[in-house]
Amino acid sequence: MSSNNALIDAITLRQILIERYSRGEAKKLVKNLNRLSRQLKKTVDSDYGRVRAVRLAQQVEKITRTILNEYGDEMIVGLKEFGAEEAEFAKQTLLATTAAEAVSSPSIRQIQASITKVPMKLISGKKTQKLTIEEAVKKFSVNRSKEIAQIIRDGSLTGRTSQELVKDINEIVVGKTRQQAETLVRTSTNHMGNIARSATYAANDDVIIGEEYTATLDSNTTITCAGFDGRIFDIGKGPLPPLHYGCRSVRVPKVNPKFDLGSEITGERASIDGPVSGSVTYGGFLKRQNAAVQNEVLGVERAKLFRSGKLSIGKFSDDSGKVYSLKRLKELNPLAFNSASST
């Protein structure tokens, strides 16, 4: 097996372990949210109707922010350790899969500092948020605290009972807050992992000559990630996952032919259908799916364009990863629309 394909296999398996790590971190989150729910219930039950709503809302906001900040601090400590471990994994993988006799280590301190210095560029619709992990954690804590405090303010104006307020707050805590926090954990973990591995490749740029963007082959993959799948970029340049909240994409190193160990026997990458050839791109994967899956991934109109064969998956977004509107697509590719409408 060639070094490139061996690396695809190793990183694919690694992503499974990283997903387990994220689930473990999410379990810690649940404990904190359960504690938050109990404390908020106790505060509302004892003080609602006895103190002014403004003061109670401030108490609730403070309790929420304190507990979420505690969890955020714990999460960041864990991510720093994870970053160091991921850099070591990348180093050992290069030693095991290439002809390099020695592999350099990146600066662990620099990798860990990325939590406060290297922003994630998260695409949402037409906008791109640039947030470091630390900023994303703080934003999450502030927004959820204000949202829960607002329930108290609104409830006092509409005459809701303490039992109704506790129910409303609990729905936010165990529902929306938990879901968003779990997504933040997965997104931050992916960011740290990609930074650590990329730093290792940069420290060994005689062995590694680039990085290939690799998306997950299933119907949950966004058009943005699907469009970048299979494209090769200079080390540390171009789109670095995560490109959106919950992003599962990774960048896989491309080995300098001088350091390639073996023949071009194709490795494997994960897909919804089980392991498939490492040479399969997202576009090739999607072509083999039925119309219902294509519609789910691309939307009905884009799926028609894709099935017409006139537009490849990479044509639906720009170089920054932002998805083109149908109007803009038609301006750029009028002939493709004519072909799709006739099929």
Q: Over 50: is that where the pLDDT of 273 sits?
A: no
Cβ contact 204:259 at 8 Å: no
Task: Determine the residue type at 242.
Answer: P
Indicate the pairing of strand 208-214 with strand 232-233: antiparallel
Residue 189 banded pLDDT, cuts 50, 70, 90: very high
User: Of the spans 22-31, 244-253, 288-297, which averages the highest pLDDT?
Assistant: 244-253
Sign of CA dihedral 164, 165, 170, 171: positive
Q: Over 60: is that where the pLDDT of 267 sits?
A: no
User: Of the spans 67-71, 266-270, 310-314, which averages the highest pLDDT?
Assistant: 67-71
Residues in the chain: 343
Average pLDDT for residues 160-169, to the nearest whole number?
Answer: 92
Residue 296 banded pLDDT, cuts 50, 70, 90: confident
In the chain, % of residues over pLDDT 70:
91
Of residues 258 and 308, which shows the higher confidence score? 258
**H-type helices in the chain, by residue range?**
3-47, 53-97, 108-117, 133-158, 162-171, 178-202, 223-228, 282-287, 291-298, 300-308, 326-332, 334-341
DSSP states of 54-105 as a string?
A: HHHHHHHHHHHHHHHHHHHHHHHHHHHHHHHHHHHHHHHHHHHHBS-S--PP
